[in-house]
Amino acid sequence: VSHAFHSEIVAPAMGPYRNFLQNIPIKPADMKILSNVTADFFPTDPQGIYDMLIKQMTSPVEFIKQLERMYAEGVRTFIECGPKRVLSAFATSTLKDKKDITVLASNHPKRGGITELNDLLANMTALGIPVNWDGKLPQNGGKFFNPYYQNWALKATAPAYAPVSGGPAAALPADKASFAEKMGFNFNPMAVSGIAGGTPGTWDKLFREGNLDEILAGKNMIEPIPGEWRARQIDKNIIRVVKSPITGAGTIEKIDSVDQAIKLSARRGSLDIEAEFGLPHTVAKALDSTFKMAIGAGVLALKDAGLPLIHYYKKTTTGSYLPLKWALPEPVASETGVVFASAFPVTESLLKEVTHYFNHKYSGKTAEQLWEVYHRIVDKLPTEADKAGLRAWLQKEFAGYQPGEGKDPYSFSQNFLLKVIPIADSQFAQWVGAKGPTIHVSAACASTTQAVHIAESWIRAGKCKRVVVIAADDITSEHVQEWTMPGFLASGTATTKENVSEAALPFDRRRHGLIVGAGAVGMVIEDETLTRARGMKPLARLLLSECANSAFHVTRLDTDHVASVMENFIKKVERVYGLKKEEIAPYTMFMSHETYTPARGGSAAAEVKALRQAFGPSADKVVVSNVKGFTGHTMGAGLEDVVAVRALNTGIIPPIANYKEADPELAGINLSKGGHYDLKYALRFAAGFGSHMAMSMTERVWKAGESRYEDQARYNAWIREVSGDPAAELEVVFNTLRVKDKKTAGKPPALPAAPVKEPVGVAAAPAAKPAAAAPQHYAEPKPAPAPRPAAPSGLSEESVKEAVLAMITEKTGYPKDMLEL
């Protein structure tokens, strides 16, 4: 509700509430029910029941009198049915002088729901209360269960993998292996053969060398938001939800001061897609900024995987050849699909177009024209005095305004549709010539990990043999943050602290809100036999991935369901690969999603419960990592997915940023202290608005310092085969791995070489030295500028408290001495 319940403030809602209730059939209960309005029994006639329910809205709760009446009526056992022990504690306190009563709770989270329920049943049995289970089994149905719960209970109690008669399994051919082969199902190991990441840091490039290693080293990439940008957040008339760090409950307040703005973000580094990746201007201007980021990440991931582009030619009508484009060679091109993951894929293009339009519409106007606009805006003000007051204020504030002609003429973007349809998957596919399936996926902040799951599913189903996962999000740019930051302010999920050390607090007891970031991701996931067939060693092996939806809440996590999905996921990993969780736990890194939002209902609690349930007593052996404390929350572009692979390769895990105060609710987990660990597995968890979740498990294959080639000669032979050039050489141009073009326009290209049956023995051609041979770069990044604190507002904490209390008293009618901040 938006107002204080059980008070006259909600009296205007009584009429609509009565109309609503009258549509619900009500009959007297079979047992006596006491009302907390009168501390007496409910009426026995339907109309009296309606009246009592409506009266309850504006009446105080007489809980003490209600308890005393229950005792007077002979009640000696009080059972609280619901979460925690607030009411049972109240009953114990109210009736503390009564020695013949028993007060029981049924579901306190600190003891665990099952333990508490069993304890309750044991107490009831000891008190001589008959516990009758007849009719309580879900299979028996009846009135005890609603249909939703009954369906859930039947599913929860059904034997795992029980065959369903008449289902699809019954229609499978007897020779399942033959059927799987005909369908093209792929049971080969799955490899992560290339990765790339675009990281925050306005002081350098988005795709600067060594940026993933910066994260592993715990380098801060979060910066102060410029003061002018903060002011634009506040003029959106924001009504904010303020969440209690203790209870998670929200209160409402209006934001009208820059001191209340979001002050930190992790903004992306620079990117010139034309200069850095060679895209023509005509192509680049039709791309949203996220498309450019994703394309850059994908090109770098292909380079890391040792997959080059070759120069294609077009035969003219005269028989000569003209250069056509650079693209993946066959059969690589036809085997490769693309998944583009992004939660905010076209936001900047939309907002820029609208901003330019209104700047054009209202810039360059005369002062008189501006005042006409002003009068249209304030036309709904009730009195002339109000209008005059606003006019005086406007004259003062805009005294320095000089109307004039706009600098640049505005015309509607011819590429508007191309920039606002989220088709970076097809734009990337066209740029590199990938001809497999392509798709855009948005699972909010779980998008990248869900894209990994889609990639695995496609390859397993035989839809393609390789998938390039590209992801990008940037809601921190000047045009976009003006709208997205107020969104996070209004929801109460973002921190407004000035200092990074007090704001970025993953797993810390003090955590209270996230910091928004920007980033890009590229991953090549493929059938591992293809990686090794071209003589390369995979970075990691994708053991398994999963995605699910809790169908629970648009912003909160269903901790029980998250824990259940992860438990089943780990069991499946054990079953498929013959592993034991207690044996792999000491060598496993958990790459968390933790966003350091308020403790109650946040990600940390769900992840910790899931780890405990999935790994049992071995949960404290799993080392827990987090990158958002250094990069901010990069939304749908999950940097964690590539950082996890890089951590496996290097054996380095970043520390938990700014961790000082342990949260007792998260006790029993092993938080990373940073540095070297003996790693073999990485468990990645991601969650997003809309009850999305996704997870993956990867195994280390390659270690930093080793050659990326399993067989250099085999790789050279493969390059000669796919390029058709018996003396093929590799080059890196525009950050793109390419087979050097030795042909001249107008002359026919060399014919494709015959398939290489024994690639190891082919050594006649000189060994090429591709740039991908050592894809890991180590460059000293430019230092980030030190955050500068904003100027003090001049307000004291006490004066603010008094003003807030006065406003609440005025609006709610509660006396000030009943309120506490």
The residues near 557 (Cβ < 8 Å, ≥ 6 apart) are 550, 601, 602, 603, 606, 687, 691, 693
- Residue 686 token pair: 């991601």
Give the domains, in start order, of the chain with CATH numbers: 8-136 (3.40.366.10), 192-234+266-315+323-346+421-700 (3.40.47.10), 349-397 (no CATH), 795-821 (no CATH)
Report the pLDDT averaged over residues 150-161: 57
- Residue 697 token pair: 């498990």
Number of alpha carbons in the 13 Å side-chain half-sphere of residue 518: 30
Classify residue 253 by burial, with Cβ atoms within 10 Å: 0-12, 13-18, 19+: middle
pLDDT of residue 785: 53
For residue range 605-652, list pLDDT tens digits in order.
999 999 999 999 999 999 999 999 999 999 999 999 999 999 999 999
Chain mean pLDDT for the chain? 84
Q: Which amino acid is at 472?
A: A
Confidence check: pLDDT of 305 > 80 = yes
Structure letter (DSSP) for residue 785:
P
447-471 burial, b if ≥16 CB within 10 A, otherwise e?
Answer: bbbbbbbbbbebbbeeebbbbbbbb
Cα 116–Cα 119–Cα 123 angle in degrees, nearest 5: 140
Structure letter (DSSP) for residue 8:
G
Task: Count other Cβ atoms within 10 Å, centred on residue 408.
Answer: 9
3-class DSSP assignment, residue 378: coil
Q: Which residue has the tokens 């780890």?
A: 611
For residue range 727-752, list pLDDT tens digits in order.
999 999 999 999 999 875 444 554 44
Of 183-187, 415-419, 812-816, where does mean pLDDT reach its minimum?
A: 812-816
Residue from 520, 582, 537, 592 nearest 212 by CA: 520
The residue length of the chain stands at 821
**Is the model more confident about 151 or about 297?**
297
For residue range 513-551, list pLDDT tens digits in order.
999 999 999 999 999 999 999 999 999 999 999 999 999
pLDDT of residue 768: 39
CA distance 727 to 742: 10
Q: What is the enclosing helix (H) or strand (E) of 339?
A: strand 336-341
Roughly how many angstroms between the first and final C-alpha of the chain, as a whole number?
A: 20
**Confidence bin at 145 (pLDDT 50/70/90):** low
For residue range 574-597, list pLDDT tens digits in order.
999 999 999 999 999 999 999 998
pLDDT of residue 805: 76
pLDDT of residue 19: 82
- HEC string of 322-371 equals EEEEEECCCCHHHHEEEEEECCCCCHHHHHHHHHHHHHHHHCCCCHHHHH
Confidence check: pLDDT of 692 > 60 = yes
CA distance 518 to 472: 8
Instruction: Report the relative pairing of strands 540-549 and 692-700 from DSSP bridges.
Output: antiparallel
Predicted TM-score (pTM) of this structure: 0.69
- Distances in Å between the Cα of 821 and the Cα atoms of 61, 243, 497 are 23, 12, 18
The residues near 639 (Cβ < 8 Å, ≥ 6 apart) are 197, 199, 215, 519, 521, 627, 631
